[in-house]
Amino acid sequence: MIPISQIESVSEVDKAKLSLLERLFRSPEEAFDLYLREPLLGRKELFRLHYALWILGPIAKFSGNIIRIAFEWIFAEEVSTTVFSGIIASIVAYPIILFVVFQLDVLRVFYQKIDRTKGEGFPPADVLTIAFLPFSASSIFWILPSPFHALFIGIAFLFSYYLCFVGMRRVSGCEAKEFLIFSLTSAAYLLSLALVFTIVYNIFRTLLN
């Protein structure tokens, strides 16, 4: 039997996560302030919130396929859509993006030098992970037919990218120029990782052949 105090604790955590998600759309700066001052919102809870939003992706895509099959069965000469069309993409896309975002969040914390003798410290973590919650929430758009779902998911990605700037400005006073430099640094970092992966892959493929 689960103690009442534990149930209340879980309820408070859920309320905090819902409040964070709501404020990201209504007042983004308040959302980052909430994360910094709310002890219930840690990295583990952020990832759980992302996971909960991802579940909507395959459910929405499956529902969209059912609706499209019904329309094709009624109005088209043949049914070209299958029940599981696009399900794998709706499942795989978000974890990959979040993995990249998490890597960039780590880069954001450590890419600038700090002087501890002047009392400087590392900036707060998980800012980009918070900013990409709206992108994870875009999983609901998989219910729409192509290319509309891609359009709205792309808009959600751009909105999350904007929230990255809002969050960095809020928690560490980052200006537009600094954010641009960080964006270019991130692009160079990802390209370097892709280059290393490509080289290692080609070496293994050559050895196996």
**130, 106, 126, 127: which is closest to 53 by C-alpha?**
130
Q: What is the pLDDT of residue 85?
A: 86
**DSSP states of the chain as a string?**
---HHHHHHHHHHHHHHHHHHHHHHH-HHHHHHHHHH-TT--HHHHHHHHHHHHTHHHHHHHHHHHHHHHHHHHHSSS----TTTTHHHHHHHHHHHHHHHHHHHHHHHHSS---GGGT--PPPS-HHHHHTHHHHHGGGGGGSPTTHHHHHHHHHHHHHHHHHHHHHHHHH---HHHHHHHHHHHHHHHHHHHHHHHHHHHHHHHHH-
Average pLDDT, stretch 13-17?
85
Average pLDDT, stretch 128-142?
95
Q: What is the pLDDT of residue 7?
A: 42
Name the pTM for this structure: 0.84
Per-residue pLDDT at 2 exceeds 70: no
Amino acid found at 114: I
Determine contact, residues 153/143, Cβ cutoff 8 Å: no
Residue 5's pLDDT band (cuts 50, 70, 90): very low
Q: What does the pLDDT look like over 50-109, one tens digit per residue? A: 999 999 999 999 999 898 888 888 887 777 778 888 899 999 999 999 999 999 998 988
Q: What does the pLDDT look like over 146-201, one tens digit per residue? A: 889 999 999 999 999 999 999 999 988 889 999 999 999 999 999 999 999 999 99
Q: What is the pLDDT of residue 120?
A: 65
Q: What does the pLDDT look like over 87-102, one tens digit per residue? A: 999 999 999 999 999 9
Distance of CA 133 to the CA centre of its chain: 5
Average pLDDT, stretch 46-52?
92
Question: 4 versus 157: which is more confidently predicted?
Answer: 157
Q: What is the pLDDT of residue 23?
A: 92
The rounded distance, in Å, linking the Cα atoms of 31 and 26 is: 9
